[in-house]
Amino acid sequence: MELCSKKKLHALSLAEKIQVLELLDESKMSQSEVARRFQVSQPQISRICKNKEKLLADWCSGTANRERKRKRESKYSGIDEALLCWYHIAQAKAWDVTGPMLLHKAKELADIMGQDFVPSIGWLVRWKRRNNVGFGARHVVAPPFTPEPPPPAPTPQAQLPLSLKDFSPEDIFGCAEVPLLYRAVPGRVGVCDRVQVLLCANSRGTEKRRVLVSGLQAAPRCFFGVSSEALPASYHPDLAIPWSEWLAQFDRDMGRQGRQVALLLAARVVEELAGLPGLGHVKLLPLSAASTTPSLPSSVVQAFKAHYRRRLLGKLAAAQSERAGTSLAEAGAGITVLDALHMAAAAWAKVPLQLIVSSFVQEGLAPGKTPLAPHKASEMPPVPGGLSLEEFSRFVDLEGEEPVSGGCKEEVGTEDQEGGGEDGFEPLPTKADALRALGTLRRWFECNGTAPELFENFYACEEEVERLCCL
């Protein structure tokens, strides 16, 4: 009898794993369907989901070999990292780095660290492969920019500055201030419902900066007991964007990665930053004052607002179903700034990579050939039930409407609706409350025909809650 041959394992590259994560995030395909499409097993897709954060970090680092299928760590990881750090410094100084130079430096670093290590040609080849160094065409890195204040006024030209050509698409960033009526309902715009949202992404969509929300309230009641480190977005207690602090943090982040990047900004913002200390790793590229092109593609901003509005309508509908007879305006009053932070972060995460890439190129904000136009479905989320496409589009652009007259009302949180605790604040949840809530949520899933794939996300959440309860 002929023995059955063992099935050959089909390993996915880093780029293919990122495609898997995008399919699971942006479509309703199950893990089994995605596994069939990539001709792998479902457990392999599950492992990719569990390692999502690590895979995305590798992808966004810009140094990982995106075609590698398995990540084998070096036995001499300390020397590996030190040599990579030195290599980035050499790139920034435009040195002509050769293979013998890398071998000599690796030996020198090993001696400094007190390790008995003699680098070989084979080790150097594997080091290059692990860190995506020296493959393909030679990449000449421009020397670092000398700190200098922005020009007093941008040149009156419609074209982007020529210095944009000095950067790779991964190192070109655009950002935009987006006014957002965070708890407005269809047909009603409140005076005090406005916040400012700062969005920033690179032209390849591989890096989205953390969302910043600026609001009128210095210390919203909904933030009582909340750890700012645990939030998915940042909050600033002033409608004006804190440009100096934000840019300083951006510059530090790029410095830690050894990168020189370009940041597209409106001419008005650059003028406001005239007195800002020089940035070592971020080059500000002002758009012409006469140009109508935004510093972040308008279609990207539109997609963000559409996803936010859809999520907001879902929250309003849930609030109405919980309390019979509740009007939309009353449900909207229960949306807090803290809710807005979570919804803004979720909406920004749902803006698809393909839309960002095509929008940057089409609007002339990044070099490259114009890609195929994305499907409309990728630009806008599905229209919620009960609204026509025209009504939903009007709701997405609600910021252009005149606010209703009347005084400003405080946010109505759960503490106001249910009495609250001492000083009007709702008591902070205990570990027992968190575990009890998990049990209730799982029971609700079980009784309402939830898709099995959702339980995988629930299990990850359950494990994290149980871990925190043991601290």
Contact predicate 45/453, CB 8 Å? no
What is the chain's length?
471
Q: In this structure, which topology does domain 14-61 adopt according to CATH?
A: Arc Repressor Mutant, subunit A (1.10.10)
> Across the chain, what does the average pLDDT equal?
75
Q: What is the mean pLDDT of residues 425-433?
A: 75
**Structure-block tokens of residue 115:** 């390790």
Q: What is the pLDDT of residues 218-275, one digit of tens each?
A: 667 777 777 777 788 888 887 788 888 899 999 999 999 999 999 998 888 888 777 6
Q: What is the pLDDT of residues 266-319, one digit of tens each?
A: 888 888 777 666 788 998 888 876 666 788 998 999 999 999 998 888 888 888
Q: Distance of alpha carbon 252 from its chain centroid, rounded?
A: 18
Burial 221-254 (b: 16+ CB within 10 A, else e): bbbbeeeeeebebbbbeeeebbbeebbeebbebb
Q: Where are the domains of the chain?
A: 14-61, 80-131, 162-400, 429-469
pLDDT higher than threshold 60 for residue 205: yes
pLDDT higher than threshold 50 for residue 136: no
Q: Can you tell me whether residue 336 is helix, strand or coil?
A: coil
Per-position DSSP letters for 48-90, written without gaps between them = HHHTHHHHHHHHHHS-S-TT-SS-PPPTTHHHHHHHHHHHHHH
pLDDT higher than threshold 90 for residue 141: no
What global pTM score does this model have? 0.57
Burial 94-107 (b: 16+ CB within 10 A, else e): eeebeeeebbebbe
